Amino acid sequence: MAVETGSQRPPGETANEGPAASRTLASGAWTLLKRFLTLREGSVIVITVLTIVYFSATVDNFATSANFKTLLPYFAPVAILAAGEVYLMINGEIDLSIGAVYLFAPFIFYKINNGGVPLIAALILALMCCMAVGLINGVFTAVVGINSFIATLGMLLSLEGLTLIISHAQPVDTPGTNVVGGLTTFARTFGGGTYSELIWALVVVAVLQVVLTLTRWGVYTVAVGGNRLGAAEAGIKVRLVIIRNFMLCSTCAALVGVLEAVRTSSVQPDPAGANEVLFDGISAAVIGGTLLAGGSGTVVGALIGALFLGVLRDGLIIKGVNADYLSFYLGLAIIIAMAANTYVGRVRKGSGVG
Amino acid sequence: MAESGINGEHVVAPTAASDDVLRVEHISKRFGPVTALRDINMHLRKGEVLGLLGDNGAGKSTLIKTICGFQKADSGQMFLHGQPYEPHSVDHARKLGIDTVYQDLALVDELSVFHNMFLRREKVKKPLPFLSNRAMRSEAREALDDIGVRIPRLNVPVARLSGGQRQAIAVARTVHSEASILLLDEPLAAMGAKEGALILDLIQRLKEEGRVSMIMVLHNYVHVLTACDRVNLIQDGVIALDKPTSETSVEELTEIVVEEYRRARQAARAAGG
Ligand SMILES: Nc1ncnc2c1ncn2[C@@H]1O[C@H](COP(=O)(O)OP(=O)(O)OP(=O)(O)O)[C@@H](O)[C@H]1O
Ligand SMILES: [Mg+2]
């Protein structure tokens, strides 16, 4: 759980309460290292750094700024998706419809804009439509009582179908991007600029991590995921917390959908691509140290998980790995990363570190 | 058959004393085919500690959860300080000054000790509602020191604590709230002798201050006789005994329960034959 990561521990209550003077420098450094490794994000950071080192050493043009720019779209969108998903997974729920929302959002944005609504307003309306999708997911899960896996699986299919219906399965040009003579401010801000998606990702992750760690919303999210009955007994409005998080998750997915549509300046009605987005989002969250069982998770971890996935995919591609092998290697790497996570998690439980 | 009462005594509807802080009248509650509460009449005086006894499954927790607003009764009324009282949520009841230690403690394993202590009563900063962790931590520390329970670190998730420590946190949380009526569902269940004594001392102190009134579910008759002013026994969904503890004894309470077992066994045998 993020609420007790090392950084906030006040000086008086550290793991070692022994007299500071008697501690040697070496043991201090060792404590720090141990503390780092047992951070919830520690193992994914180590794995990601190792992966980066490996590719830098074995692939010539990996550690270049050009490649860094290639890498960005692999990871920034996934980080935003995973950030929203982390909230739901901490709640003990899951949202499988993020890929479908990602697909749906730019089309609805296109339709609204085509109806004569200015770009920014159309974007906001599109995000609100997708927020309503989250509301529906939340109501089915928290009020009607359908398992969220099933409810959002249904949403995934219906929304992908709906997208195909309203788009007539035809791609369209993303509004605001087809201007001759360079990018408009709108396009530069919402995905078109080189670092636009990265900045969005960093902002979304930072805000959501702060909300998770330092606000009631975050504490209630953890409480509902950790002990649903207990949370209700304490007076927490469990349904409201779950619905709110579904809405947050859908909004994140919608934002990514629009950012990607603006970046590529076309909206593709491609459910297969959307499903890949879904897998990446959930993988990043899980690799980042969020438990599917609920009660625990970190948004920053999900960002690093997304970076890991991006580096891996990018590195394998530059290395010239055959496309058929790519998925195979990715899958293996995810399992190995998860195994490392679980192992470190066990060590963390054993040690005295939160 | 339960209406006939036990040992010939029968409990009448509660006398509406003017210093009743809480009155419960004809409360009933069913769960599908199970009737947990049939017709509960009970009252709690100001500053009083009322012990609630009953077998497993008698409906003690159900009654507590009905009073604290966690679940609604099927029928009946409640009165708080003489006013009709219909809690529609735990928050609502808490706002009216009722706070609860649940039998299952309602702690979140993943949250730290102090986050649990302030669950749903978090202290936040202004103008942005960020948690004041520092303030909560130091206040939690004070509350726990006040009881005398030793929990070295308040930053650790409560999953790491022992059963007794967890229970101490749940009790401290409720006692430390601003509530004037405390409902404690088996607050000593997981406590060793020493911690149990600490909690009993705390309750004694609260009683002397006279600010709060308490309903306490207990299984240990000695605890009932030491800590409570009055004892109620739930049987067959009604309050079957209502006596000041000064007028009863461990022997009498044991006798009642033994008697109850004997009748139950007879009833079972009669049904079987
Ligand atoms: N949420 C519920 N759903 C269904 N049945 C319930 C529920 N809560 C309680 N019951 C039933 O109501 C009856 C009374 O339960 P309750 O928990 O109030 O007993 P109790 O007196 O607190 O027992 P114990 O001493 O074991 O804590 C039991 O038969 C129980 O099975
Ligand atoms: Mg009970």
- The residues, ordered by sequence, that sit 6+ positions from A53 with a Cβ below 8 Å of its Cβ are none
Residue A169 lies in a domain: yes
CATH code of the domain covering residue B20: 3.40.50.300
**pLDDT tens, position by position, B48-88:** 999 999 999 999 999 999 999 999 999 999 999 999 999 99
Q: Which of A79, A123, A80 is nearest to A105 (CA)?
A: A123
- Predicted local confidence at residue A38, as pLDDT: 67
Residue B32 lies in a domain: yes
Residue in A9, A222, A232 nearest the CB of B155: A9
- Please tell me which residue of chain B has the smallest CA distance to A5: B155
Q: How far is the CA of B62 from the centre of ligand 2 (A)?
A: 7
Residue B235 lies in a domain: yes
Residue B80 lies in a domain: yes
**Residue B111 to residue B158: CA distance in whole angstroms:** 6
- Predicted local confidence at residue A60, as pLDDT: 87
**Residue A129 to residue A255: CA distance in whole angstroms:** 11
Q: For B89-104, what is the mean pLDDT?
A: 97
Label residue B18 exposed, middle or buried (CB < 10 Å: 0-12, 13-18, 19+): exposed
Mutation target to probe the A interface, by most A beta carbons within 10 A, among B64, B107, B111, B185 is B111
- The residues, ordered by sequence, that sit 6+ positions from B206 with a Cβ below 8 Å of its Cβ are B175, B182, B212, B214
**Residue A81 to residue A68: CA distance in whole angstroms:** 20
Residue B218 lies in a domain: yes
Candidate of B40, B52, B62 to mutate for ligand 1, largest count of ligand atoms within 8 Å of Cβ: B62
Residue B134 lies in a domain: no
- Structural domain range at position A132: 40-348
- Please tell me which residue of chain B has the smallest CA distance to A351: B160
Work out the mean pLDDT of chain B and round it to a whole number.
90
- Structural domain range at position B82: 2-110+174-247
Q: How far is the CA of B58 from the centre of ligand 1 (A)?
A: 7
Q: Is B61 on the interface with A (CB under 8 A)?
A: no
Task: Answer yes or no: is the C-beta of B28 below 6 A from any ligand 1 atom.
Answer: no
Task: Answer yes or no: is the C-beta of B261 below 6 A from any ligand 1 atom.
Answer: no
**Tally of structural domains, chain A:** 1
Residue B197 lies in a domain: yes
**Tally of structural domains, chain B:** 1
**Residue B134 to residue B95: CA distance in whole angstroms:** 25
Q: What percent of chain B has pLDDT over 90?
A: 77
Q: Residue with the nearest Cα to atom 8 of ligand 1?
A: B62
For residues A286-312, one letter each, b for 16 or more C-beta atoms within 10 angstroms of the residue's C-beta and e for the rest, the string is bbbbbbeebbbbbbbbbbbbbbbbbbb
Q: Which of B4-8, B175-179, B193-197 has the lowest mean pLDDT?
A: B4-8
**Residue A126 to residue A117: CA distance in whole angstroms:** 11
- Predicted local confidence at residue A166, as pLDDT: 94
Q: Is B112 on the interface with A (CB under 8 A)?
A: yes
- Please tell me which residue of chain B has the smallest CA distance to A350: B160
Q: How far is the CA of A239 from the centre of ligand 1 (A)?
A: 24
Q: From first to last of its 354 residues, what are the pLDDT tens digits of chain A?
A: 334 443 333 333 444 444 554 557 778 888 777 777 667 787 788 889 999 999 999 988 898 999 999 999 989 999 999 999 999 999 999 999 999 999 999 999 999 999 999 999 999 999 999 999 999 999 999 999 999 999 999 999 999 999 999 999 999 999 988 767 778 899 999 999 999 999 999 999 999 999 999 999 999 999 999 999 999 999 999 999 999 999 999 999 999 999 999 999 999 999 999 999 999 999 999 989 888 888 989 999 999 999 999 999 999 999 888 888 888 888 888 788 788 777 776 776 665 444
A244, two tokens: 């709110």
pLDDT at B132 over 50: yes
**pLDDT tens, position by position, B187-208:** 998 888 888 998 999 999 999 9
Q: Is A332 on the interface with B (CB under 8 A)?
A: no
- Predicted local confidence at residue A22, as pLDDT: 53
A328, two tokens: 């195979």
Q: Which of A238-252, B28-42, B141-155 has the lowest mean pLDDT?
A: B141-155
- Predicted local confidence at residue A344, as pLDDT: 72
User: Within chain A, how many helices (H) and strands (E) appear?
Assistant: 14, 2
pLDDT at B141 over 90: yes
Residue A8 lies in a domain: no
- Predicted local confidence at residue A351, as pLDDT: 54
Residue A30 lies in a domain: no
Q: Which of A342, A351, A340, A354 is nearest to A51 (CA)?
A: A340
CATH code of the domain covering residue A50: 1.10.3470
- Predicted local confidence at residue A252, as pLDDT: 98
Measure A166 CA to nearest chain B CA, in Å: 42
**pLDDT tens, position by position, B98-129:** 999 999 999 999 999 999 999 999 999 999 99
- Predicted local confidence at residue A3, as pLDDT: 41
- Predicted local confidence at residue A133, as pLDDT: 98
- Predicted local confidence at residue A327, as pLDDT: 85
**Residue B110 to residue A2: CA distance in whole angstroms:** 10
- Predicted local confidence at residue B17, as pLDDT: 61
**Residue B35 to residue B37: CA distance in whole angstroms:** 6
Residue A233 lies in a domain: yes
Residue B132 lies in a domain: no
* CA A292 and chain centroid, separation: 14
Residue B145, amino acid: D
B125, two tokens: 């900063």
pTM above 0.95, yes or no: no
Residue A185 lies in a domain: yes
In this structure, how many other beta carbons lie within 10 angstroms of the beta carbon of residue B49? 24
Q: Is B77 on the interface with A (CB under 8 A)?
A: no
- Please tell me which residue of chain B has the smallest CA distance to A213: B131
Contact B109 A9 (CB under 8 A): no
Q: Residue with the nearest Cα to atom 9 of ligand 1?
A: B62
- Predicted local confidence at residue B191, as pLDDT: 87
- Predicted local confidence at residue B101, as pLDDT: 97
